[in-house]
Amino acid sequence: METISISLDTVWVLFATTLVFLMQAGFALVETGLTRTKNTGNIIMKNFLDFGIGSILFWVIGYSLMFGLDVAGIVGFPDFLSDNNYNKSIPDAAFLMFQTVFAATAATIVSGAVAERTNFEAYILFSAAITLFIYPISGHWIWGGGWLSQLETPFHDFAGSTAVHSVGAWASLVGVIMVGPRIGKYNGKANAIP
């Protein structure tokens, strides 16, 4: 009976992983629709590389920073190319894939916020920092046994609203403050950019 339970849990997690992965395409489409035609390729490449580079960096070190042995409630102990089983109810490879798509989602939220205003290479470095350090460390506080999960009344995150979406939103706010408004969009009043 336990084997059936693990199998069903794994299938469900992989199905959810697929749905979250498809959000990458959704973000690419919505961001492309909200920017000028000349920037379509740039937006799609940003979303593609968010996942491509972010997945590798999250697997190499971010995953263990998020779920590794707790260090002072702040971060997990680093384990390069982690082979530890951080989740006992499903195979670790499925759990890693599930967490990887969320790391990429947190990073790609920033892409839309800074669309048409960032240098491609600078954006990729910003995205790498999110998947390598920012998301894994803040995720450790909530899901990895960090200080928020250790409170007398533990913090509960519903469906990644804080661990994923809020982290992406705060990183977006920092990015927007750093790069400023789109050129031609705000000159004392909002202007439509066809």
pLDDT in tens, 14-52: 999 999 999 889 999 999 988 888 888 999 999 999 899
What is the phi/psi pair of residue 114, to 5°?
-105, 15
β-pairing verdict for 70-71 and 75-76? antiparallel
Residue 68 CA neighbour count, 13 Å, CB half: 22
Q: What is the pTM of this model?
A: 0.87
Residue 58 tokens read as 């999250």
Q: How many CB atoms lie within 10 A of CB 41?
A: 10
Question: How far is it, in rounded angstroms, from Cα 194 to Cα 191?
Answer: 9
What tokens were used for 14?
A: 């992989």
pLDDT of res. 190: 76
User: Which stretches of the chain are DSSP H helices?
Assistant: 2-33, 40-57, 63-67, 92-113, 120-129, 135-142, 167-179
Decide if pLDDT at 1 tops 90.
no
**First-to-final CA distance of the chain:** 59
Structure-token pair, residue 83 = 């082979």
Query: In this predicted structure, what is the pLDDT of residue 15?
Result: 97
Domains and CATH numbers, the chain: 2-179 (1.10.3430.10)
